[in-house]
Amino acid sequence: MIFKGKTILVIGGTGSLGKVFVKRVLSGKLGTPKKIIVMSRDEAKQHQMRMSYLHKLVATDEVIYNNFKNALEFRIGDVRNYADVCSAVKNVDIVVQAAALKQVPTCEYFPTQAVLTNCMGASNIVRAIEENSYPVDTVIGVSTDKACKPVNVMGMTKAIQERIIIAANILNPETRFICVRYGNVLASRGSVIPLFHEQIKNGGPVTVTVPEMTRFLLSLNQAVETLFAALRFAKRGETYVPKVPAATVINVAKALIGKRKIEIKITGIRPAEKMHEIMVSEEEATHCVRRGNYYAILPMLPELRKLSKHEPAALKKELSSEDTALDFSGTVALLKKHKIMIEDIDLSHGEELLR
């Protein structure tokens, strides 16, 4: 019961992951928390989230003006602002750092902004705990496969975020700093599947960059389960990675199109994109171990490695989306399982499309 009686701060809590995380925690299945604090910059998203939880229970004015009396509390604040972070962090047990600039093109055009959110934001959390001796039990950073051998600004800044959070264990022995790293979340805001849905709804064409391009795919619930697993079992300095399948972009597009007479237009690889994502690098594979349905990347720093008993390496090479890509039938089954399909499609027709 990892959340029983705990105060949990979710920075960036109005995003796709944050909303599902909060909903799952409020279910009480892992213990009823004392309080969940959602901190973000967007008052409109906060208001929508607040109303979705509380408007059926009390009048609207009561929801707004009794915000700090509720078990679900909303704070306007910016992870880039040290004072905001201090104010939010000082009385919590668990900090989830889910605030991010995550759109690859946005980060390429505005790299300084990506550094401020993805790097300085993590640094502000560490600094707040370190300089004020706040008794935070655990900080967990949310990262991405793009942080592994990064080729774009988003991945580079997320890689730095991982290192900031992991290294924080050395000077803050009373707080456990850990990370999770995962791939593309199915149907999350800004991902390719909502784009495909919109293009299909409008009659096409569906735009595919490179047919053979592969991506790791998992649901929002699987992403949240990865956070739960890390919060329950990860040792200080470890990064948890879920074992999930991958798929080619063309198979995802064809699965969603189904029998519809919709053109697929190949647009070519975009700037700062990889053909295949890597979840665990070849260098990390030497200190990556199995933890149930997850891999745990042990910390590189020798002071932290001493905390982990000797465990055999789980991988002999890098973990690439190219090596775990499903065939067309497997892609369809995955999308159906997670209710991503616009409607059920005839698998045999889909196989004909591939020939």
Catalytic residues: 146
Question: Which helix (H) or strand (E) covers residue 256, if one does?
Answer: helix 249-257
Angle (nearest 5°) at CA 181 between 179 and 187: 130
CB of 187 closer than 8 Å to CB of 19: no
DSSP string, 205-232: PEEES-TT-EEEEE-HHHHHHHHHHHHH
Spatial separation of the C-alpha atoms in residues 12 and 27, rounded to whole Å: 20
Task: Residue count of the chain, please give it.
Answer: 355
Token pair of 277 as six digits: 């994502």
301: Cβ–Cβ under 8 A, 6 or more apart, which residues?
Answer: 166, 167, 170, 237
Q: Which of 230, 228, 252 is nearest to 338 (CA)?
A: 252
Q: Read off φ and ψ for residue 353, nearest 5 degrees.
A: -65, -30
- Compute the radius of gyration of the chain from its Cα atoms: 21
